Structures are given as structure tokens and as C-alpha cells.
């Protein structure tokens, strides 16, 4: 008799046990979940130590009682217990989270799964109920004691959890329906196999299966989330709990394992986090765009006044060799300010690319000062260009912004210093050699640094919108995606090459520009626009400085000028002065914009020429594109050309 007892205590001979006994050991070993049964009316008919630990009732106290006593009063009044049974019986499962009540009246937040238990003929025998205490996760060891058949029905009815047993070496000794559903193995395929086959190759290499068993053996429980592998090779994100099974002497004779597939929850959390980050970046960019639009309007107004006044002052000052260079220097500085504004507002600006032949070496030389001031005096820049290089087909302004962006990224990748090399080479590309580039002649403009470089994972995401490695507040994650979009639009390709510790090379592949035909060659720009007959002009601008400057330039051109500081005042003047030949109006004005004023004028004075003076990025997309534009800031020559264009010969 003693020998038989010892045999039952030896897990190595568990093959001689009945299936019911193995399920009983499995349920008794699970102490992190309350697992019990209800009859069809919701009366408790079995109770495990996990349930006793969570809810405080002993089996003798609760068996025969209705499970609704675990619900808070509000849920009982709303009929939630009865609805749970009805939903489980009708839909095959009821799952929820909510407050539950212990014997001492205290509450705990619980995750609950309720599965119907049916006989082979479909008759409802009761319900299998699993409760997880999410408010406290403390290891505890309990054995579950109930009738063997009840335990077998309980375990086999649970389909949302993989519940199975391992022997002391980690081989599967039991398998429930939930395990088959989640991991795809049938019982006869997996029993006797080592549970390590559920782990990824990476985890196997790190010894994770054995570490899990050793932790459970040593600490009384192992709990973790990670990737697991199904029979078909697909992976799922799992929550795992492993509890040791001990005999009466305390010796570990096996393990109880509970696995939950939480892939959907993980993906939902990731999607939510990504959506929140994208929304935050989008809102930030929108705010920046609105702010820069306002700055552009005000700054361009100031530059218009400065450039116009300098031009008029230069015409009226006496020929003085000491004054002329100062006027020219101030004019050049104002023009550089206008160019700087355009570079600053490139992201806020939305317009089609202005594709023209571009001389890359000349473009880089022209922005040397801007690059050096942006990168700092301690960051050396080296350029490497061949003696002869064909022109490329590109938008010069956008290409400057792209080059500046790449140079700043290179600087940020070298916090301890390093070298930046800007180079270009010309190549004949065959189809498929460089991404999706078509076969043809291309110039590769590259920016190379000697910085930290990127690992394979970071390099794979570097051109994704809103992806950045610079940390919160230091980068928008839009720079490389903007460069990528610009090069794709030009018919080129943006390529990143990098290795951790070996620096980064960013390559912009641009198509070589086709030779211009004789009739398409650029005509020389005339120093002076043709003068028109004296006109009566109505100038409209809410900025008094700009208005005065515009009026003085028009008067200097021989025209008669009426001035208005608002749309309504301009309409009053037009109704009073029928002799007005031309209207020049600012767009961004309060109460009535230039576009709105133009519409009102067309209704009352159809055919009256109107010129819209507009700053950078002021016009919303799709507005009256037929109106001739006078870009701010403008000088007298641009004003003269705009007036002449409104009255062609």
C-alpha cells in the first residue's frame, strides 16, 4: 500500500493516472485564477483555492449559493448576473471587467470569463467561470479539490485560455480545448513534447523556456508577456503564468501553465499610441504653419517697405560714391531676408514644384554661409564636385531646404564632432539598379557624416513621417519624409545608407536636365519694364507703411494714386471716382480680404483690372487663381512690370 502511495506521488509515473486526476492536479495548482463551476441557474457547484484566495469564501461557505453575491449592489439591481449567464449561453462566452465583492465586503477589480458547459447532446450542464484579480498580483500556492469529472468539464470548457500541465522537465502531459484553439496542436500531437517548441528562435537561443521553469520552481510563480509560436509558424503575443505543482513533501513534480492570447490588445495599444503621437505632431505642425503664415505676412510687409524705400531713395539721392554702396548693401541684405523667409516657411508653403535646370555646385556655393551659420563654426564642411557636372532637373528652393535638412541631421548625429562631406557624381543608371529609378542619366548629390550611424531597425523606419530619434521636442520626424517626397516628385530617388558606428550617407538622385531648345532658352531679363500711360490707381493696404510706399512708387512712375486702408473704404472710393483705371490690393486684410474685395469690385465694375499683392503662403489653396499676383516683398521694377502686364500693348 505504501508503495502505491509513493507511486502516485511520483510524477514520472503520471501516465498511469486517470485523465480526471491530471485535470484535478492542474486546477489545484492554479492559484492566480479563480476557476469554478455554476449550475444552469448560476448556483456555485465547485470551488478552487484560487477562488477562495480572491473572494474569501471557503468551499463549504459558498457551494450552493448563487454567484450574484460576488457582484456589487448596483450591478445586481441592474440584472448584470442574469445577463452574463444569458449572454454566455446564447453567444458561447461572456467576458468583462468590473468591480466584484469579497466576503469581507471589500472590492477588487476583476477580469471575468464565463463559458457554457454542455453535454455531448448540447444540453446546458452549467457554466465554467474564470476570474482574475487585476488589483493585486501576489503569488500564492493552492491546490484545487473538486470532483474529477467536474474539473475535467471545467478545464475542457474553457476556450479563451490554454490550460495544460508540464512534467518536471517541461514536457506537456495534458491539453485543453483552449490550448488547441490558441496554439493549433491537437492533444495527440503535443502531449509528450517539450513546451519549448512554443518559443521563438530568439528566446530559445537565450534559454527562456528553462529560465521560466527555474523561476517558477524557485519563486513559486513565473509570469510574463512575450511572443509565442503556433503550429503553422505564426506568432502571437501571449500572457503566461506558470505555477509549480508540488507533492506532499514539497518537491516539484510538474507545472501548471496558463496562456492567454492578447495579440489584439497589444495591437490596439500600439495603434492608439501611434494615433496619439501622429495627432500631436499634426496639431503641432498646423499651429506652426498658422504662426509662420502670420509672421511671413508681417515680415514681407516690412521688407516691401524697406526695399521700395531704398530703391526710391537711391533714385533721388545725389551721385555720391560713399552713399551708393550703402544703399546697395542694404538692398542686398533685404533681399537675403526675403530669401531666408522663404526657406523658413518651406514646410508651411504648399505649392507645385518649380522644376528647372539647376547647377548643383553653384547652388551649394550660394548657400555656404547659410549652411555654416546653421551648423556652427566648429563643424567643418567639405565639398567634392567633379570639374564638369551636368545640370539637374529640380526645384532649387526645395533642394536647398533638403540639403540644409540633411546637413543639420548630420551635425546632430555627431555630438562629439566629426566631418560633413557634400559631394556629387554623375552616373548612368540601369532600370532597377537604384530603387525604382527609370533607366537614364542621373546626378547623385550626397551628404555624408562620420557620426553614430543607425541600426537596421532605425534605418528601416527613418523615412516614415513623424518617426524621429532626436527625442521629444527636438525633431518633428518630417525632414527625411519631405526630402523623400521632393525627390520622388522630380523623378529621382532618396537613398539612405548607414551602419551602427559607421556614419550615414544620404543620397539624392536627380535626373539630368534635358538641353534647352533654342526657342525655350531663357530670355535676358530687362533692366526696366515698359512704362504705361499715366493711370489712375487705387492702392489698398491695411498697413500704413506699405500703403505709403506703394503710393510713392506709383506716383514716381507718373500715376495718380488714391489710397484706402480697408476693403470698404476702397469700394467707397470706386463708387465716387469712376476714373480709376487699376486696383492694387493687399490680400491679408481684416474684415474684408483682397480676394473678397476683388469679388465685390467685379460685381460693380466688371472688367476693371485688379492686381493682388500677396505675401508668402497667404493665399488658401484653390482661391481665385486668375487674378494677377504681385509677390511681397516687391521693388519698383516688379511693380512696374505688374502694372504693364495689366495693360498689354
Res 521 pLDDT > 90: no
Please state, as a whole number, how many other Cβ atoms lie within 10 Å of the Cβ of residue 555.
13
Q: What is the pLDDT of residue 275?
A: 66
Measured at the CA of 211, the angle between CA 207 and CA 217, to 5 degrees, comes to: 155
Does one domain contain both 16 and 120?
yes
Res 296 pLDDT > 70: no
Q: What is the pLDDT of residue 14?
A: 47
Does one domain contain both 414 and 546?
no
Contact indicator for 159, 261 with CB cutoff of 8 Å: no
Does one domain contain both 129 and 103?
yes
Does one domain contain both 42 and 154?
yes
CA distance 75 to 54: 19
CA distance 177 to 431: 54
- Among 519, 543, 560, which residue terminates a domain? 519
Query: Which candidate, 97, 5, 6, 88, places its Cα nearest to that of 42?
Result: 88
Beta strands, E only, 94-149: 94-101, 107-118, 124-133
CA distance 239 to 368: 56
Asked if the structure places residue 615 within a domain, the reply is yes
Q: pLDDT per residue over 464-489, tens digit each?
A: 554 565 554 444 445 676 677 677 77
Our count of domains for the chain comes to 3
CA distance 587 to 567: 10
Does one domain contain both 6 and 152?
yes
Choice among 278-292, 481-495, 604-618 with the minimum mean pLDDT: 278-292
Res. 155 pLDDT band, cuts 50 70 90:
low
Contact indicator for 80, 67 with CB cutoff of 8 Å: no
Res 5 pLDDT > 60: no
Please state, as a whole number, how many other Cβ atoms lie within 10 Å of the Cβ of residue 362.
12
HEC string of 533-561 equals CCCEEEEECCCHHHHHHHHHHHHHCCCEE
Asked if the structure places residue 633 within a domain, the reply is yes
Choice among 197-201, 375-379, 556-560 with the minimum mean pLDDT: 375-379
Between residues 338 and 189, which one has the greater pLDDT? 189
Query: Which candidate, 458, 423, 463, 460, places its Cα nearest to that of 444?
Result: 423
- Among 485, 519, 553, which residue terminates a domain? 519
Question: What are the DSSP calls for 453-515, one per residue?
Answer: ---HHHHHHTTSTT--SS-TTT--S-HHHHHHHHHHHTT-EEEEEE-TTS-EEEEEEEEBPPP
Please give the grid coordinates belonging to residue 633: 516683398
Asked if the structure places residue 328 within a domain, the reply is yes
Res. 502 pLDDT band, cuts 50 70 90:
confident
- Among 453, 484, 519, which residue terminates a domain? 519
CA distance 583 to 581: 7
In terms of pTM, does the model score above 0.75?
no
Q: pLDDT per residue over 570-595, tens digit each?
A: 999 999 999 999 999 988 888 898 88
Asked if the structure places residue 210 within a domain, the reply is no
Give φ, ψ of 502 to 5 degrees. Answer: -120, 15
Asked if the structure places residue 149 within a domain, the reply is yes
Does one domain contain both 118 and 32?
yes
Please give the grid coordinates belonging to residue 106: 471589500
Contact indicator for 128, 154 with CB cutoff of 8 Å: yes
Q: What is the pLDDT of residue 413?
A: 79
Res. 491 pLDDT band, cuts 50 70 90:
confident
Can you tell me whether residue 223 is helix, strand or coil? strand
Between residues 39 and 340, which one has the greater pLDDT? 39
Contact indicator for 72, 107 with CB cutoff of 8 Å: yes
Rounded mean pLDDT, 360-379: 82
CA distance 202 to 33: 30
Can you tell me whether residue 152 is helix, strand or coil? helix
Asked if the structure places residue 320 within a domain, the reply is yes
Res. 104 pLDDT band, cuts 50 70 90:
very high
Res 88 pLDDT > 90: yes
Does one domain contain both 329 and 459?
no
Q: What percent of the chain has pLDDT over 90?
A: 23
CA distance 301 to 631: 10
Between residues 619 and 450, which one has the greater pLDDT? 450
Does one domain contain both 491 and 360?
yes
CA distance 465 to 345: 19
Q: pLDDT per residue over 391-443, tens digit each?
A: 998 888 888 888 888 888 888 878 777 888 899 999 888 876 776 778 888 99
Between residues 136 and 115, which one has the greater pLDDT? 115
Rounded mean pLDDT, 166-185: 85
Query: Which candidate, 613, 571, 609, places its Cα nearest to that of 592?
Result: 571
Please give the grid coordinates belonging to residue 76: 445586481
Q: What is the CATH number of the domain that holds 554?
A: 3.40.50.2300
Asked if the structure places residue 144 within a domain, the reply is yes
CA distance 317 to 547: 22
- Which residue segment(s) compose the domain that 570 sits in? 286-350+525-649
Q: What is the pLDDT of residue 11?
A: 44
First to last CA, the chain: 123
β-pair type (124-133, 34-38): antiparallel
Q: What is the pLDDT of residue 326?
A: 75
Does one domain contain both 509 and 531?
no
Does one domain contain both 120 and 55?
yes
Q: pLDDT per residue over 298-331, tens digit each?
A: 676 777 778 777 777 777 777 766 677 777 777 7
HEC string of 398-457 equals HHHHHHHHHHHHHHHCCCCCCCEEEEEEEEEECCCCCCCCCCEEEEEEEEEECCCCCCHH
Does one domain contain both 429 and 459?
yes
Amino acid at each position: 500500500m505504501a508503495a502505491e502511495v509513493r507511486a502516485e506521488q511520483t510524477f514520472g509515473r503520471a501516465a498511469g493516472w486517470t485523465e480526471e486526476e491530471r485535470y484535478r492536479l492542474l486546477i489545484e495548482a492554479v492559484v492566480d485564477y479563480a476557476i469554478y463551476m455554476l449550475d444552469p441557474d448560476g448556483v456555485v457547484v465547485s470551488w478552487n483555492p484560487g477562488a477562495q484566495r480572491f473572494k474569501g469564501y471557503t468551499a463549504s461557505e459558498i457551494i450552493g449559493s448563487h454567484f450574484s453575491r460576488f457582484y456589487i449592489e448596483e450591478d445586481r439591481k441592474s440584472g448584470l448576473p442574469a445577463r452574463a449567464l444569458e449572454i454566455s449561453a446564447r453567444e458561447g462566452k461572456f467576458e468583462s471587467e468590473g468591480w466584484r465583492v469579497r466576503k469581507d465586503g471589500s472590492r477588487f477589480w476583476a477580469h471575468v470569463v464565463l463559458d457554457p458547459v454542455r453535454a455531448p447532446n448540447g444540453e446546458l450542464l452549467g457554466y465554467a467561470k474564470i476570474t482574475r484579480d487585476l488589483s493585486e498580483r501576489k503569488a500564492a500556492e493552492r491546490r484545487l479539490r473538486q470532483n474529477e469529472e467536474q474539473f475535467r468539464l471545467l478545464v475542457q470548457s474553457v476556450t479563451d485560455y490554454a490550460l495544460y500541465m508540464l512534467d518536471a522537465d517541461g514536457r506537456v502531459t495534458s491539453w485543453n480545448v483552449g490550448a488547441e484553439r490558441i496554439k493549433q496542436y491537437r492533444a495527440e500531437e503535443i502531449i509528450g513534447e517539450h513546451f519549448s517548441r512554443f518559443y521563438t528562435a530568439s528566446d530559445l537561443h537565450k534559454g527562456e523556456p528553462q529560465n521560466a521553469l527555474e523561476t517558477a520552481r524557485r519563486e513559486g510563480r513565473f509570469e510574463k508577456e512575450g511572443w509565442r509560436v503556433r503550429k503553422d509558424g505564426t506568432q502571437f503575443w501571449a500572457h503566461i503564468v506558470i505555477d509549480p505543482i508540488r507533492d506532499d513533501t514539497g518537491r516539484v513534480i510538474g507545472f501548471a501553465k496558463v496562456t492567454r492570447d492578447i495579440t489584439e490588445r497589444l495591437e490596439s495599444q500600439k495603434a492608439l499610441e501611434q494615433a496619439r503621437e501622429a495627432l500631436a505632431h499634426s496639431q503641432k505642425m498646423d499651429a506652426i504653419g498658422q504662426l509662420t503664415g502670420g509672421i511671413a505676412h508681417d515680415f514681407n510687409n516690412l521688407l516691401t517697405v524697406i526695399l521700395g524705400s531704398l530703391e526710391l531713395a537711391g533714385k533721388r539721392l545725389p551721385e555720391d560714391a560713399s552713399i551708393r554702396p550703402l544703399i546697395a548693401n542694404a538692398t542686398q541684405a533685404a533681399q537675403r531676408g526675403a530669401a531666408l523667409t522663404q526657406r523658413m516657411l518651406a514646410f508651411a508653403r504648399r505649392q507645385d514644384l518649380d522644376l528647372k535646370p539647376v547647377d548643383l555646385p553653384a547652388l551649394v556655393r550660394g548657400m555656404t554661409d547659410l549652411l555654416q551659420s546653421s551648423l556652427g563654426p566648429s563643424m567643418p564642411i567639405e565639398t567634392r564636385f567633379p570639374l564638369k557636372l551636368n545640370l539637374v532637373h529640380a526645384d532649387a528652393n526645395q533642394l536647398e531646404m533638403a540639403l540644409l535638412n540633411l546637413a543639420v541631421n548630420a551635425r546632430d548625429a555627431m555630438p562629439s564632432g566629426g566631418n560633413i562631406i557634400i559631394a556629387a557624381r554623375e552616373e548612368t543608371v540601369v532600370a532597377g539598379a537604384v530603387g525604382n529609378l527609370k533607366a537614364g542619366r542621373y546626378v547623385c548629390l550626397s551628404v555624408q557624416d562620420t557620426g553614430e550611424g543607425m541600426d537596421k531597425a532605425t534605418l528601416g523606419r527613418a523615412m516614415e513621417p513623424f518617426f524621429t530619434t532626436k527625442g521629444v521636442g527636438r525633431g518633428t520626424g518630417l525632414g527625411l519624409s519631405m526630402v523623400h517626397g521632393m525627390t520622388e516628385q522630380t523623378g529621382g530617388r532618396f537613398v539612405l545608407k548607414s551602419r551602427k558606428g559607421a556614419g550615414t550617407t544620404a543620397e539624392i538622385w536627380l535626373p539630368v536636365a534635358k538641353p534647352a531648345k533654342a526657342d525655350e532658352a531663357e530670355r535676358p531679363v530687362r533692366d526696366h519694364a515698359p512704362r504705361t500711360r499715366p493711370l489712375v490707381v487705387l492702392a489698398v493696404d491695411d498697413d500704413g507703411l506699405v500703403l505709403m510706399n506703394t503710393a510713392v512708387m506709383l506716383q514716381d512712375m507718373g500715376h495718380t494714386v488714391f489710397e484706402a486702408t480697408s476693403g470698404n473704404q476702397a469700394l467707397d472710393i470706386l463708387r465716387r471716382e469712376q476714373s480709376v483705371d487699376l486696383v492694387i490690393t493687399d490680400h491679408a486684410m481684416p474684415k474684408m480680404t483682397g480676394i473678397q474685395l476683388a469679388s465685390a469690385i467685379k460685381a460693380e465694375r466688371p472688367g476693371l483690372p485688379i492686381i493682388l499683392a500677396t505675401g508668402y503662403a497667404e493665399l488658401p489653396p484653390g482661391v481665385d487663381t486668375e487674378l494677377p499676383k504681385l509677390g511681397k516683398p516687391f521693388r519698383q521694377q516688379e511693380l512696374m512690370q505688374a502694372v504693364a502686364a495689366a495693360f498689354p500693348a
